[in-house]
Structure 1
Amino acid sequence: MNAGVFEGVASGGRPVTDTLSANGQSTELSSDGAILLIDDNPAVAGAMEIAFRMAGRMLDTARGPEEALSRLAARRFDAILLDMNFTPGQSNGEEGLALLSRIMADDPAACVVVITAHSGIRIAVAAMQAGARDFAIKPWRNSDLVAKVEAAIARGVPAISSSVIMATDAEPIRLLGESAAMQVLRDLVRRIAPTPAGVTVTGRSGSGRTLTAMAVHAASGQGGGEPARIDLRDESAWARLQDGINTVILRYPDKLGEVAQARLMDRLPPALRCIAIADDLAALTPALRRRIATVEIAVPPLERREGDGVMLARHFARLAAERFGRPVPCLTAAAEEAIRTTVWDDEVRGLALAIERAVLLVEDGTIDAAALAIPVAPLASGLGQASFDLTDAEKAMIKAALREHRHNVTHAAAALGLSRGALYRRMARYGL
């Protein structure tokens, strides 16, 4: 897949250096004949792994929607086997249908075979209407299930309604995150992408602007070819404007002066669709803004993506563990609280770097707050809102560490990277 990238950084498995996107998407997206099973039952996963391995297929397993979306962002699979319920006691299939809808919205060409109970024919029909290629009824014979999946793959991509915006030959770009802010972002991308309008993506560096620009192109229906990406600060790169057959991604048009912006206007082919990445739309001349910024897509900062930080951290941990041959670590409650409350330098890219470093350094398979190397001391001066927010964040981290270690101050202090005395002083300050 021509995966999404950080600001000016190629995608893949290494944050900040050169290969990890703001959502952890990888350039290593060849499926290698792999199947993804989304099921929380280890017994089912074990039996299916044997059956598919005997059929010459590798089976990867995700235990729920979050892990499934993480794995789908990191690689492409020939087919997806989707159970329809993940919460104990649930049998209405709503969880599976919601995940199916998300998968098909990201990639209408996905080959999904749903798994449902014998009494779930209604759910299976709804899944087929939502884009699944086939369904299997529990219980099944493994040989029959393998044959059903192979047949679904062999049938290829079904006819897709004209209302679906992604070209079937385009690789999906997955914007990870379940917060309201990310849902709004994905919806805007899907509505604007099929139009020829010029789009400018704004937001903080490291938040996923290039990934979002690539998502607009992938959902545009202009084919699967990767558009030319041009840093306009390098005038020698302007010659590549002629390389863009349908779409070009322009970086930093707002860094050009008025004369240079006028020259850029003259150089842009009339039929070329422009997707730009900029810090400040106000710096664009009215003429250039009309040409390349008919619509602004603002990528939300990480602190506005409620809960997405922890989800992304788990995703980055899985990617880093696979890349370095380490067991997938778990995050302690204090580490999760630290991730939720930290304003990360370099946004999602900074979080990815912190997680990758922690995966390399921890020895017990557990990432605690100390392993993230986040300063926990509040600002020494200043009475602004940011200072109050940081104080609240530190208090929440300390409470989480104390709960996790059953109020053992020594262990909680070690998890937070503090001395016992420093932790006692903070506990007294916050009345803990």
Structure 2
Amino acid sequence: MSSSALSILVIDDNPRIAESLGIAIEMAGHRLDIASGPEEGFSRLAAQRYDAILLDLNYAAGRTDGAEGLAMLARLLADDPAACIIVITAHSGIRLAVAAMQAGARDFVMKPWRNAELIAKIEVAAARAAPRSDRPHVYGGEVPGGEPARLLGDSPAIEQVRALIRRVGPTRAGIVVTGPSGAGRTLIAQAVHAASGDADRPMARLDLRDMAAWDRLAGEEAGTWLLRHPDRLDEVAQARLLDRLPMAARFIAIADDPGGITPALARRIATVEIAAPSLARRQADIPLLARHFARIAAERHGRPAPRFTPAAEALLISAPWPDEARGLSAAIERALLLGDGGVIEAALLAPAAPVVAAAPRSSFDLDETERGMIEAALIEHHHNVTHAAQALGLSRGALYRRMARHGL
């Protein structure tokens, strides 16, 4: 593969089309990844950046209006207006291709295509892309080091976060990211940075609880700083910190309690608050996130991407996940490693579910979790109580007693 090789993502649900594209692209010396639809496409884009995206416009059976593909095109370009997207359409879909071009696609490919023409279009479109440092800075771009800063999910809660990042990211305003630990606060901070004019520079990070590291602030007059835990400093320490902050720098803070930041410091580092939503506020996103985490873990450990049984999918939504998305990711990785045959069953996820943080309603939450686990195990084993009891590590009698208590 040559030094000018491109990294290309094909998003197409037709395996034969994807295979044909793959042969042509790889023979031309470029690297190819394949996603079978929008969900997997966004998952791959959250894991790495691509020089070009080949996007089919129809996915659902019998659909020819291109609505799904055009909706994905709009979201991709909203996240990154500089994305190099080439749409794929049938020969009869010239109107869709024109609509996609008007919406911001770089070019289009008609089925069937000539391989030489296809490769030429990809290479020309990618060559027209502005260098990363010259592109408009948007939240969906990459952070230094090559990792994209892209938030997955379609829930209203996460879409509100994306919209707020697009609005305030390009400004110089100080941002404080709040919400539960493990809900993606650091990723949101990275997304804000990727949307800024400083995106081509690394974002410096500083845990403010380590006051010995504050001297690093003196050596940076510009750029963006990620400040952790300003709310855990007392008023005197916050005043000292304010005196040390470089005037030309931008600050993004992560805090548990924004009310714990003094007004004077808040004006500098917390002009706008972005709250990371908990999984409880974005339940509809949990299966999507779980599949994303499963794909990433499978690639890390050299395993095939697993599928979730219906009972496992039901448990994903019903169970509370300590440590939020981070805890969900850890549970998925553990289930992948312990499972067999590329399948994740409810019983593999269940050990993570009963751990509930102490709270006034912890017993209620535990009951709900136990009920969800029992229901999932019964569904998994087709209501065979003996097998469900074995999966849960209970005797038949103990399971019957719990079923009676929960009205199952």
Cα distance in 2 for residues equivalent to 1:31 and 1:199: 38
SS of the residue 1:305 aligns to: helix
CA contact (8 A) 2:88 2:109 kept: yes
Cα distance in 1 for residues equivalent to 2:86 and 2:238: 51
Deviation at 1:429, TM superposition (A): 3.4
Q: Which residue identity does 2:378 align to in structure 1?
A: L
With over 3 angstroms needed to count, the CA separation of the structure-2 counterparts of 1:412 and 1:168, relative to structure 1, is closer
Residue 282 of structure 2 is matched in structure 1 by 305
Residue 333 of structure 1 is matched in structure 2 by 310
With over 3 angstroms needed to count, the CA separation of the structure-2 counterparts of 1:416 and 1:308, relative to structure 1, is farther
SS of the residue 2:253 aligns to: strand
SS of the residue 1:306 aligns to: helix
Residue 318 of structure 1 is matched in structure 2 by 295
Deviation at 1:161, TM superposition (A): 12
CA contact (8 A) 1:200 1:293 kept: yes
CA contact (8 A) 1:368 1:416 kept: no
- Of 103, 111, 116, which aligns to 1:138? 111
Residue 267 of structure 1 is matched in structure 2 by 244
Per the normalisation by structure 1, the TM-score is: 0.84
Cα distance in 2 for residues equivalent to 1:371 and 1:31: 44
Residue 6 of structure 2 is matched in structure 1 by 33
Deviation at 1:75, TM superposition (A): 1.4
SS of the residue 1:122 aligns to: helix
Residue 22 of structure 2 is matched in structure 1 by 49
Q: Which residue identity does 1:268 align to in structure 2?
A: L
Residue 62 of structure 1 is matched in structure 2 by 35
Residue 397 (structure 2) pairs with residue 424 (structure 1): no
Residue 375 (structure 2) pairs with residue 402 (structure 1): no
Deviations 1:173-193 (A, max 9, x none): 101111111000111111111
Cα distance in 2 for residues equivalent to 1:203 and 1:233: 19
With over 3 angstroms needed to count, the CA separation of the structure-2 counterparts of 1:90 and 1:287, relative to structure 1, is same
Residue 21 of structure 1 is matched in structure 2 by none
Which structure 2 residues correspond to residues 176-255 of structure 1 after superposition, within 5 A?
176-241=152-217, 242-243=219-220, 245-255=222-232
Residue 254 of structure 2 is matched in structure 1 by 277
CA contact (8 A) 1:378 1:387 kept: no
Deviation at 1:388, TM superposition (A): 4.2
Which structure 2 residues correspond to residues 38-117 of structure 1 after superposition, within 5 A?
38-117=11-90
Cα distance in 2 for residues equivalent to 1:169 and 1:368: 34
Q: Which residue identity does 2:178 align to in structure 1?
A: T
Deviations 1:77-100 (A, max 9, x none): 221110011110111111111111
CA contact (8 A) 2:251 2:269 kept: yes
Deviation at 1:233, TM superposition (A): 0.9
CA contact (8 A) 2:320 2:369 kept: no
Deviations 1:55-113 (A, max 9, x none): 11232111111111111111122211100111101111111111112222222222111
Gaps of 5+ in 2: none
Deviations 1:256-288 (A, max 9, x none): 111111111111122221111111112111111
Cα distance in 2 for residues equivalent to 1:416 and 1:340: 18
Deviations 1:98-136 (A, max 9, x none): 111222222222211101122222221221222211011
Deviation at 1:218, TM superposition (A): 0.8
CA contact (8 A) 1:378 1:394 kept: no
Deviation at 1:407, TM superposition (A): 2.8
Q: Which residue identity does 1:298 align to in structure 2?
A: A
Residue 100 (structure 2) pairs with residue 123 (structure 1): no
Cα distance in 2 for residues equivalent to 1:327 and 1:273: 42
With CA pairs under 8 Å and 6+ residues apart, which has the higher RCO, 1 or 2?
Answer: 1
Deviating more after overlay: 195-204 vs 367-376: 367-376
Per the normalisation by structure 2, the TM-score is: 0.89
Deviating more after overlay: 196-205 vs 365-374: 365-374
Deviations 1:333-390 (A, max 9, x none): 22222221222222111111111112112122111122124366799x99x6554455
Deviation at 1:203, TM superposition (A): 1.1
Deviating more after overlay: 300-309 vs 388-397: 388-397
Cα distance in 1 for residues equivalent to 2:142 and 2:315: 41
Residue 260 (structure 2) pairs with residue 286 (structure 1): no
What is the aligned residue count? 401
Deviations 1:211-243 (A, max 9, x none): 111111110122311111111111121122132
With over 3 angstroms needed to count, the CA separation of the structure-2 counterparts of 1:168 and 1:303, relative to structure 1, is closer
Gaps of 5+ in 1: 1-29
SS of the residue 2:348 aligns to: helix
The structure with the largest helix share of the pair is 2
CA contact (8 A) 2:220 2:246 kept: no
Cα distance in 2 for residues equivalent to 1:370 and 1:34: 38
SS of the residue 1:307 aligns to: helix
Residue 156 of structure 1 is matched in structure 2 by 129
With over 3 angstroms needed to count, the CA separation of the structure-2 counterparts of 1:31 and 1:385, relative to structure 1, is farther
Deviation at 1:165, TM superposition (A): 4.5
Deviation at 1:418, TM superposition (A): 4.4
Deviating more after overlay: 49-58 vs 422-431: 422-431
With over 3 angstroms needed to count, the CA separation of the structure-2 counterparts of 1:318 and 1:376, relative to structure 1, is closer
With over 3 angstroms needed to count, the CA separation of the structure-2 counterparts of 1:395 and 1:166, relative to structure 1, is closer
Cα distance in 1 for residues equivalent to 2:158 and 2:342: 30
Percent same amino acid among aligned pairs? 61
CA contact (8 A) 1:228 1:244 kept: no
Deviation at 1:331, TM superposition (A): 1.2
CA contact (8 A) 2:9 2:34 kept: yes
